[in-house]
Structure formats: C-alpha cells, structure tokens
Amino acid sequence: MGQGGSVIGAGEAVWGGFSAFFSIWQLCILQFSPFFLAFIVGTFFCTPGQRHAPPVIRATLPASLAWTLSFTLLYSLLIASALPLSRPLISNLGSLRIIAGVLILLVSLYIFLMGRRASLAKWHRPSTLIVLAMVIGISFALMYSPCITPMLSDIMGLATQRGTAREGWYLAFLYGLGTSIAMCAFAWALIAVLSRSAAVWRKARWISDACVLVLVVLGLMNISGLMTFYKAFLLGLAL
C-alpha cells in the first residue's frame, strides 16, 4: 500500500536529520525551533538568585537530552503510521494538539513563577527540568507538521507499510535524533554567547519573561487553532 523503501544506513539517517536543520528545510522546522529556544533559554535564565553563568552544557544537558528523547520518540511514532501504537495517536492528533497547548501553558507558568518566587527554588532541580523538557518535547512533536524531505520520504515509505514499519520507525527515530541534536547544539551555542555578557545577566528576568511570553503565545495558538495562521503566514512569508 505504500512506496517502496530504499536502504538507508543509521548514520545516514542521523546526518539527514541533522543537515535538514541547516538547510531550506529549516523553514518547516521553524514550527518548533524558536519555541524550543524559548524553553531552553527561559529555563536557563529563570534560576532564582543566579547572578553568574553556570556551565552551559552542564546546566542544559539534562533538559536537552530529555527533550531530544521525548520529541524524537513521539515524532518517530507519528511518522511510523503502520505501527499499531501510532494509529490512535495520529487519528486523534487534532485533540492531542489542544492538550499539548495546555501543557505548554503549564510549563510557561512554571518558568514565570520560578523567576519570581524564591520559595519555589527548591523545585528548580535537574529532575524537574527533565520532566518539563519531556512535556515540551511531546507537545512539540504533536504540534509539528513536517515537510517531507526526500530522505524522510524514503523513510516514510518503510514506516507506513505494515511489513517494514519497525525498520521505518527506527530510521525515523534516527532522523529525528539528528534534527534534535542540531537543535540542541544551536541552543547551547546561543546560550553560551548570551551568558558571557554581564549585561545579559542584568536582564535575566526580562529575557526569561520574554521566553515565557513566546511559550504562552504558542500554547494559546495550539488551543485556539491559530497555529494554522502561524504556519500559513509566518512560514509562508519565508517561501
């Protein structure tokens, strides 16, 4: 019932996803890339009482890994529509996107309060960030509508057929992993540059609040269906 698959190696799939991030396909990845940056930057700068930059990688690695795993896992399941587990997810994607919007709003609320309530500082631990990052990763996979690159087309050729769905899911996971690694590397570089500046640290609250605002807008767009307008107008502008 589907297109014939081609032989794609594991490394090739990771590279395909990684390189897509730095190519014309970034236009489609813009559906979530600015919002991921808002999450990572927002949580980095919202730490109460923090005056100096903690090591970027150490501070953001747990959340980045959690986001990468959760996003990539759900993304690959949604790609592999022939898997029994994927069917109910795909056929309820419209409703799940609304739930994703609510979850994004809750994460935004956490970042907002964390920057204001010193009494909440005890909750601001790597384990909390890991949970929040997983929630954001799942939400982003649900709201994403990927443009199908030639390599992803080949992968979906496998993932949408019953006989090769597992192989296709595995390759889709690796492809998503490549995109996520590129996303995280970009976020780390951005934070590393920002956190070197003392002026930026003086505006840490402001930066964190701006990130919260971006995430709140995203959550509301998902709940109201206005995400369609973001895709049609903002992404369309770039084409």
Q: What is the DSSP letter of 230?
A: I
Per the rule left: phi > 0, alpha: psi between -120 and 50, beta: everything else, 130 is alpha
Told to check if 195 binds other proteins by CB under 8 A, we report no
- CB of 130 within 8 A of CB of 119? no
- Which residues lie below 8 Å from residue 138, measured CB to CB, with a gap of 6+? 70, 71, 74, 100, 103
- 56 vs 96, beta carbon nearer other proteins: 96
Q: Compose the 52-71 pattern: x for residues touching other proteins by CB under 8 A, - for all others.
A: ----------x--x---x--
Count, residues near other proteins per rule CB under 8 A: 55
- CB of 77 within 8 A of CB of 166? no
Told to check if 186 binds other proteins by CB under 8 A, we report no
- 45 vs 140, beta carbon nearer other proteins: 140
- 172 vs 194, beta carbon nearer other proteins: 172
Told to check if 224 binds other proteins by CB under 8 A, we report no
| 227 token code pair | 């995400």
| 87 token code pair | 């069917």
The contact set with other proteins (CB under 8 A) reads: 1-3, 7, 9-10, 24-25, 27-28, 62, 65, 69, 78-79, 81, 87, 90-94, 130, 145-150, 152-154, 156-157, 160-167, 170-171, 173-174, 227-229, 231-233, 235-236, 239
